Every structure is written in C-alpha cells, then in structure tokens.
Amino acid sequence: MEAKHGTVVGHIAQDLGLELAKLVLRLFRVASKGRRDLLEVNLQNGILFVNSWIDREELCGRSAECSIHLEVIVDRPLQVFHVEVEMKDVNDNPPRFLRQEKTLF
C-alpha cells in the first residue's frame, strides 16, 4: 500500500490527552527512529499526517508486520510518549489473468 502526502493517520494530540491550544507553547515535536520525514504533526489541530510518500513494501519488504516508531516530546513539563504507527497491507497490486477461466486438470 502506498500513502501519499497529506493522508491523515490520526488525532495524535487528542489520543495522548494533550491540549491543542498548548502544543506550540509546550514545544510539541515528533522524533522518529530511522526515516525522519515520513510523518508530521499539524500543530494547529494535532493531526498526524503523511509528510512524504510511503510505500509499505519499500519500508518493510515482505514482512507480515510493519510499523513506524515515533517519540512525541512535549516540554513544560517534559513528557515523552512512545508511539507506534502500524502500516497495514492493502492488496493494491492484485493478480491479473489474461483469461477468465483456466482448466488445471
């Protein structure tokens, strides 16, 4: 599955119980392990979104499980949240056959 720029992943600030009005004041930031530019947070609404094109197969190969690990950090007071974003595989490349039917035996 591919996810393009702007695709909403979730309401991360709300899920973490953080007040939207204080995200900027508390220096809300996201740090990811590995590729840093895949996901981003809109500080106005607390929504986590895809920042650059993600190809699950490229990210995790043929692995059955695939996820992106993030650390969300806020100050005043300091809090660190460990977040895992699971990448689901959608069959976006189904097999195609030239003929509708094929007799095997």
Is the pTM for the entire model greater than 0.95? no
pLDDT over threshold 80, residue 93: no
* Residue at 20: amino acid letter: L
Query: Average of pLDDT values for 29-39?
Result: 79
User: Distance between CA 46 and CA 14 in Å, rounded?
Assistant: 7
63 and 103 in contact (C-beta within 8 Å)? no
CATH superfamily placement of domain 2-57+64-86? Cadherins (2.60.40.60)
| CB within 8 Å of 13: residues ≥ 6 apart | 19, 20, 23, 28, 41, 45, 46, 47
Query: pLDDT by residue (tens digit) across 49-79?
Result: 998 888 888 888 888 899 999 999 999 999 9
What are the residue ranges spanned by the domains of the chain? 2-57+64-86
- The Cβ of residue 56 has, within 10 Å, a number of other Cβ atoms equal to 17
pLDDT over threshold 80, residue 42: yes
3-state secondary structure of 22: helix
Please give the mean pLDDT across all residues of the chain: 86
